[in-house]
Amino acid sequence: MTKRDVSDSERLEHFREQIGFLQNSADAFDSGNESKAKRLALTLRILLHETKHSKSLLGQIGKKGMFWDLATPYDPRNLVSHGGLVGVEIGPRGVRYLALLDDTVASPRMIPFDEWWTAIVFRSSDGTTLSRRDVVMTAADQDGGAHVDRTLDEDYARFARDNAMGWVARDGRSPEGRRMDSPDRRRLVSRNVRAPTPRVPRRSGVTIRARAARGQSTRSATGAESSVSPGSNPDGFTQSCPR
């Protein structure tokens, strides 16, 4: 079949569209439609994933070099779970995981894309780990982003379905406490996809960190009697797009 080359301007327009898709899905997620995490994973796959036979959109426009690493550094000597992209919030909605925003990171650094993409960002206390790539690709290829598979990778399923983080919220209602739901890692990755990219209007979502509305609006409203206890859990990730 005869094919036609895609122009540079058309690729940039595709880029702007994908950033818009990310922003719209992030806004919807933060408004309570958490199924949009699957759409976020699919868009991230288009922007970032490459094979021997296909090139990512960021790669096609020459903007896949250095990425901001905004995750809490992973320390392999740490015996408890690691969540480099999340904190814990106590507020009107109870105790829950909250994605950290760009301005909460003490020392962000720029690293090569491959290092950012494959770095460990979640680890359970039993040693199960996930990278940003693990999360995005499994969500897109197996868990409803672009395809629904009959099976899921076990490591991904432990984080996405089970309390691999191992944290329990105690509010005085039960001695054993309530298991905290695992944060949606697909959303966390999208919140911080940031790489040097072409200059486009800020409103179109060039900084792909989702709006802080959901987190910041409740962060100051502490819910008195609650406390959080660690069990066996991993968590964390992130990156963002340019200005």
Domain segments of the chain as ranges: 8-229
Residue type, 57: L
- In this predicted structure, what is the pLDDT of residue 45? 96
Query: Has residue 160 got a pLDDT over 80?
Result: yes
Q: Over range 3-28, report the average pLDDT.
A: 95
Please state, for a pLDDT cut of 90, what percent of the chain lies above it: 42
Cross-strand bridge partners of residue 109:
69
- In this predicted structure, what is the pLDDT of residue 99? 74
SS3 80: coil
Lowest average pLDDT, out of 30-34, 60-64, 125-129, goes to: 30-34
Residue 66 backbone dihedrals phi, psi, to 5 degrees: -105, 140
Q: Quick check: 48 and 194 in contact, CB under 8 A?
A: no
Residue 101, sorted as left (phi over 0), alpha (psi -120 to 50) or beta, turns out to be: beta
| Cα separations in angstroms, 70 against 55, 87, 235 | 25, 13, 13
Q: What is the pLDDT of residues 195-207, one digit of tens each?
A: 443 333 332 222 2
Lowest average pLDDT, out of 12-21, 66-75, 139-148, 182-191, goes to: 182-191
Query: Has residue 239 got a pLDDT over 60?
Result: no
Q: What is the pLDDT of residues 93-118, one digit of tens each?
A: 777 777 776 666 667 889 999 999 99
Q: Over range 7-28, report the average pLDDT.
A: 95
Q: Over range 40-47, report the average pLDDT.
A: 95
DSSP element (H, E) containing 118: helix 113-118
Residue type, 110: M
- In this predicted structure, what is the pLDDT of residue 106? 65
